[in-house]
Amino acid sequence: MKLRLSLIALAAIGSVFSLSGFSQSYSITNARIVTVSGATIEKGTVVIRDGLIEAVGADVKAPADAQVFDGTGLTVYPGFIDALTNLGLAAPARRTTPTGPGGGQAAAAAALAAAPSSNSTYPAGLRPEEVTLDDVRAGDAQFEANRNAGFTAALTTGRTGIFNGQSALISLSGDSVASMTVKSPVALHITFNTIPGTYPGSLLGTFSALRQMFNDARRHDQLLKMYAANPRGMKRPDADKSLEALIPALNRQIPVVFTANLENEIVRALDLAKEYNLRTIIAGGQEAGKFADRLKAQDAAVILSLNFPKRTAAASPDADPESLQTLRLRAETPKTAGKLAAAGVKFAFQGGGATSVNDFLANTVKATENGLSKDAAVRAMTLGAAEIFGVGDRLGSVEAGKIANLTVVKGDLFGTQKTITHVFIDGKPFEPKPIPRTEGPGGRGPRAGGPVSTALPDVGGTYSINIQAPGQALTGTLTLVQQGGTLTGTMVTELGTSPLKDGRVTAEGMSFGGSVVFGGQAIDFTVRATVTGNQMSGTVDSPQGAIPITGTKNP
Amino acid sequence: MKRYILFFLSFVLLFALSGLVVGQSKGELLIKNATVMTATRGTLQATDILIRDSEIVRIGKGLTAGSGAKVIDATGKYVTPGIIDAHSHSMLSAINEGALSVTSMTRTRDMLDPSDIAIYRALAGGVTTALLLHGSANPIGGQSTTVKFKWGRPVEDYPIAGAPASIKFALGENVKRASFTPQPGQTVRYPRTRMGTMETIRDAFRRARDYKQAWDDYRAKKTKVPPRTDEELQPLVEILEGNRIVHCHGYRSDEHLNVLRMAEEFGFKVGTLQHGLEAYKIAPEIARHGAGVSIFTDSWSYKLEAYDAIPYNAYILWKNGVNVSINSDSDERMRRLNLDAAKVMKYGGVPEEDALKMITINPAKQLGIDKRTGSVEQGKDADLVIWTGHPFSAFSRPDVTMIEGEIFFDRAVDAQKRTEMAKEREGLEKLDVNKAPGTGGTPPRIPAERRRGERDEAEFVIDGGNR
């Protein structure tokens, strides 16, 4: 009792003094330490000082000034890294609800116009110079759910456009963006999107536009060098920041991350990367296992999504059976990590927009049940990710001198009974709240991420929906899973199954995006709707226009 | 030293042996006793075809193959060249880039989807080769890809190595956005008239000439700064230099005449006029220019500019010495191009072999691949179809479709695979990930294609976009 009081006193003094540069030290003693970079220490001590790991070992003693955490029965891992997120970024700006015919186009044009002002000669969406870090907000609260699940750092990038922004690796704690930043820029991110209302308006154009920009950037690099060598008699090259931003990628100074899940996307990404000799990372990679040898040959890494596909909607006896391709994909996806590991492809894990951050660990376990070794799984969440992002020398393992990002687990990480007891981020301890049990799909109520604000409407559930598309009314099923202010789920209509993207619930209503394939083209849509009682009504917004959607919640 | 030589020799032996093994595994294939419709050298009765390493090595009677060769008894059956479809949009993830009027920078090669079931269905209809074209939303559309339907192979195996580069042009209603009503806030794309269409094409070629000049000057060291590598203009330079074939979509004869004149003005030849429903009106002019025409036999009236069509189009063009091919422009029609070819015998009386040519050697010439495929001839790729009966009979079906000696469709294997796949499905459906959550909910409605009476309309909307 006395000891504990004095510790608290010490900690209190410590926190006061830390403001004036007092050295802050913690020790985790008697713990099992999975260093990842070396052998696991069955019983040892980790000493943390000033945000770094000062010492690790079986014989290391806790320094006198350290706050001591008794690690008996606990395992210390390098802090988990979510290798692709949108963390720290504001939710997508809410567009005004369009009215009347053509509202969708007008709104799309307005959204483009409302994009951050830039004097780039390229349209919003084709601006590789945009740096994600510029949009990241500081503050600990926003990362609470992720820390509770054991995460200490994340790669974050924008959501929209063909160029999604140059990503940043951030600590999931910090009072300023400057102090949170581990590395920026990490990579250039490309998603094979289109730009509504302008060129490229189709996937065909997306590839041609990228090719032209890479061609122009290569020439720009050449012109800049010529001009630097001898400006006389040569018209000065344009100060084109968009092209300039591509030069480091062409020179292999930074990698290019391509969002690519399915076979066609992965092949197209690898082909384009080969054409321009880019350092390649595939993000998503559901079918990457089929191309393990090619990925290895091209020295491409994978940021593998742990959001494994599963059937989310009930079918009726009248519905077409699902394609064999879909059924196979769901069965095969959990095997991807094992295949990549066997082929020696570098890979890391990302949550992939899963319903709950807790799915990350649950599906990591599933990967280990499908051919991935547990050691390789831990590596993918720690040092593997750090190495892909070029920070393996300072992050990702429990070694003296490295950043003190640690995740402390009670119980078997790969078992069913496990608790994240502490995380350390840049040497700062956090004690996660107990994680409530995850409910099944359609379940409601607070999850990891804190209590749901009472001001938010409760919209979760399954709806029978009706979309008044011109010429053909579409019917279907909308499954919404609400988790605080975020919304996930699927929309199933005659046009297929669309997983929901960027789902949000606010006091005024809800919004989510998705895409359907029609006539061979992917069409992105956004739905904005309100729920009153068991009735839902709103608007579906797409390049084809704005059309009403109504729905009734199934009891 | 001796030891080294031995070592070296054993290596040589190893390589020689492995070469032998590879040669055998690719192997010989002998088709026995078939009625062979060669498409170029008449119909041969009770004839054998010997295939070795993807090539037809001998055609004749009483041929024998080495031991280990696969032998197909085709008694009572017909063999034709694999069908070639000179106008298809199958296996493309996107077909139209509609945002610009000139989209020569786009490549259908980027959009190939080897998982498209239309490929397998085409094989079941005897199609081995197709020209995959960009859509018709632009006066100058995207670059096309000539493929063989090697179902099951990785995507890079589909494009025919060495096939000439080509590109889609388009004229008329689709290009001037006749059935496209701009919504408020949406920009109206130029051109909106047929004369604007010609201006757009001419302007692009003038820009291409300037672009070529800039590169010529740079290469001659007249200028110091390298010009751009322009994805839009480079393919147009290739057209001007005769290294890229133009396939020009159009309906009205006046427009097709315009584009032939424009090509002559810029010094190149149009490869094919696509659709050309009024081509019969200008058959001598087309013959004089040297263009081919690729048509439907008897599909018309699906839009205003498709009204002045006659079923004698193929006959009149053929009579005037124009190279005519019959195409599908549709995943569905592609499966029965043999019957579309048969129709030209009825309308006007094109002889049987010339009718067969319209789906084999003629499109092969239009695509510039006739040296390798399009007829049953010694030395050509073994792209062959074995039919249950005469290919122009509505009761005949392909039994076997092969590309370069490799069987990609076999009716017997197909039946066996159906059972295997049903079993696989049964297993997969039992997995948790494939089970629906037990939350009930309203099921999705039956897809439109399975609802009676709505099928034709839905299909028209989708297909009509490119025709």
**What pLDDT sits at residue A505?**
83
DSSP state at residue A233: T
Whether B3 shows a pLDDT value over 80: the answer reads no
Residue B102 burial (10 A CB sphere; 0-12, 13-18, 19+): middle
pLDDT category at B344 given cuts 50, 70, 90 is very high
Whether A10 shows a pLDDT value over 50: the answer reads no
Report how far residue A476's alpha carbon sits from residue B224's, in angstroms, rounded to the nearest whole number.
62
**What pLDDT sits at residue A513?**
86
Tell me the average pLDDT of chain B: 90
Whether A452 shows a pLDDT value over 60: the answer reads no
Give CA torsion, residues A139, A141, A142, A146, to 10 deg.
120
Report how far residue A331's alpha carbon sits from residue B228's, in angstroms, rounded to the nearest whole number.
47
Minimal Cβ distance to A314: which of B107, B224, B436: B436
Question: What residues of chain B, 39 to 78, have a C-beta less than 8 Å from chain A?
Answer: none
**What pLDDT sits at residue B199?**
97
Residues of chain B positioned with their CB less than 8 A from the CB of A331: 428, 431, 433-434
**What pLDDT sits at residue A454?**
41
Name the residue of chain A whose CA is nearest to B104's CA: A208
Question: What residues of chain B, 186 to 215, have a C-beta less than 8 Å from chain A?
Answer: 186-187
Which residues are within 8 A (CB) of A403 and not within 5 positions of it... i.e. 6 or more apart? A51, A52, A53, A182, A394, A395, A426
Residue corresponding to tokens 């049990």: A437
Backbone Cα Rg of chain B: 25
Name the residue of chain A whose CA is nearest to B224's CA: A234
Residue corresponding to tokens 């567009």: A95
Higher pLDDT, B330 or A491: B330
For residue range B206-223, what is the model confidence (pLDDT) as tens digits? 999 999 999 999 999 999
Contact B224 A201 (CB under 8 A): no
Using a CB–CB cutoff of 8 Å, tell me whether B432 touches chain A. yes
Give me the interface pTM, i.e. the ipTM: 0.89
Side by side, the strands of the sheet bearing A256-260 are A163-166, A188-191, A256-260, A280-284, A301-305, A347-350
List, in sequence order, every residue forming a beta bridge with A411; answer none if it has no partner: A418
Question: What residues of chain A, 413 to 442, have a C-beta less than 8 Å from chain B?
Answer: 440-442
Report yes or no: A484 and A510 within 8 Å, Cβ to Cβ: no
Residues of chain B above pLDDT 90, percent: 83
Report how far residue A433's alpha carbon sits from residue A435's, in angstroms, rounded to the nearest whole number.
6
- Least confident window among A14-18, A213-217, B78-82, B265-269: A14-18
Residue A148, number of CB atoms within 10 A of its CB: 22
Q: Is the model's pTM score more than 0.90?
A: no
For residue range A472-509, what is the model confidence (pLDDT) as tens digits? 678 888 888 887 778 888 888 877 778 888 888 877 78
Contact B443 A233 (CB under 8 A): no
DSSP state at residue B215: H
Region A352-369: mean pLDDT is 87
**What pLDDT sits at residue A463?**
87
Residues of chain A positioned with their CB less than 8 A from the CB of B435: 311
**What pLDDT sits at residue A15?**
45
- The backbone region for A267, taken as left when phi is positive above 0, alpha when psi lies in -120 to 50, beta otherwise, is alpha
Question: What residues of chain B, 356 to 415, have a C-beta less than 8 Å from chain A?
Answer: none
pLDDT category at A43 given cuts 50, 70, 90 is very high
Region A331-343: mean pLDDT is 97
3-state secondary structure of A369: coil
Region A112-119: mean pLDDT is 63
**What pLDDT sits at residue A401?**
97
Number of H helices and E strands in chain A, helices first, is 13, 27
Using a CB–CB cutoff of 8 Å, tell me whether A99 touches chain B. no
Residues of chain B positioned with their CB less than 8 A from the CB of A320: 446-447, 450
Report how far residue A163's alpha carbon sits from residue B337's, in angstroms, rounded to the nearest whole number.
43
Contact A324 B425 (CB under 8 A): yes
pLDDT category at B261 given cuts 50, 70, 90 is very high
**What pLDDT sits at residue A404?**
98
Whether A538 shows a pLDDT value over 90: the answer reads no
Report yes or no: A183 and A167 within 8 Å, Cβ to Cβ: no
Name the residue of chain B whose CA is nearest to A317's CA: B443
Whether A365 shows a pLDDT value over 50: the answer reads yes
Q: Which two tokens mark A326? A: 């879909």
pLDDT category at A314 given cuts 50, 70, 90 is low
Contact B107 A207 (CB under 8 A): yes
Q: In whole angstroms, what separates CA A43 from the centre of its chain?
A: 34
**What pLDDT sits at residue B13?**
43
List, in sequence order, every residue forming a beta bridge with A242; answer none if it has no partner: none
Report yes or no: A256 and A187 within 8 Å, Cβ to Cβ: yes
For residue range B438-455, what is the model confidence (pLDDT) as tens digits? 544 454 555 555 544 443
Using a CB–CB cutoff of 8 Å, tell me whether A494 touches chain B. yes
Residue B365's identity, in one-letter code, is K
Report yes or no: A460 and A481 within 8 Å, Cβ to Cβ: yes
- The backbone region for B218, taken as left when phi is positive above 0, alpha when psi lies in -120 to 50, beta otherwise, is alpha
**What pLDDT sits at residue A491?**
86
Phi and psi, residue B30, nearest 5°:
-120, 120
**What pLDDT sits at residue A511?**
86
Whether the CA torsion B198, B199, B203, B206 is positive or negative: it is positive
For residue range A244-256, what is the model confidence (pLDDT) as tens digits? 999 999 999 999 9
For residue range B102-137, what is the model confidence (pLDDT) as tens digits? 999 999 999 999 999 999 999 999 999 999 999 999
Q: Which two tokens mark B414? A: 């197909």
B156, B53, B159: which is closest to B380 by C-alpha? B53
Using a CB–CB cutoff of 8 Å, tell me whether B430 touches chain A. no
pLDDT category at A111 given cuts 50, 70, 90 is low
Which residues are within 8 A (CB) of A115 and not within 5 positions of it... i.e. 6 or more apart? A124
Contact B439 A479 (CB under 8 A): yes
pLDDT category at A444 given cuts 50, 70, 90 is very low
| One-character DSSP codes across A116-183 | PP---SSPTT--TT-BGGGGBPP-SGGGHHHHHTTEEEEEE---SSSEEEE-EEEES--SSHHHHEEE
Residue B408's identity, in one-letter code, is F
Residue corresponding to tokens 């690729």: B294
Whether B65 shows a pLDDT value over 50: the answer reads yes
Residues of chain B above pLDDT 70, percent: 87
Report yes or no: B296 and B340 within 8 Å, Cβ to Cβ: yes
**What pLDDT sits at residue A453?**
35
| Half-sphere exposure of residue B170: CA atoms within 13 angstroms, side-chain side | 29
Distance from the A431 Cα atom to the nearest Cα atom in chain B, whole angstroms:
34
Question: What residues of chain A, 203 to 262, have a C-beta less than 8 Å from chain B?
Answer: 203-205, 207-209, 211-212, 215-216, 218-219, 222-223, 226, 233-235
3-state secondary structure of B287: helix
Region A212-241: mean pLDDT is 97
Tell me the average pLDDT of chain A: 86
| One-character DSSP codes across B38-96 | -SSS-EEEEEEEEEETTEEEEEESS----TT-EEEE-TT-EEEEPEEEEEE-TTBS---
Contact A462 B438 (CB under 8 A): no
- Least confident window among A457-471, B4-18, B236-250, B282-296: B4-18
Region B188-214: mean pLDDT is 96
Whether the CA torsion B231, A115, A550, A439 is positive or negative: it is positive
Residues of chain A above pLDDT 90, percent: 62
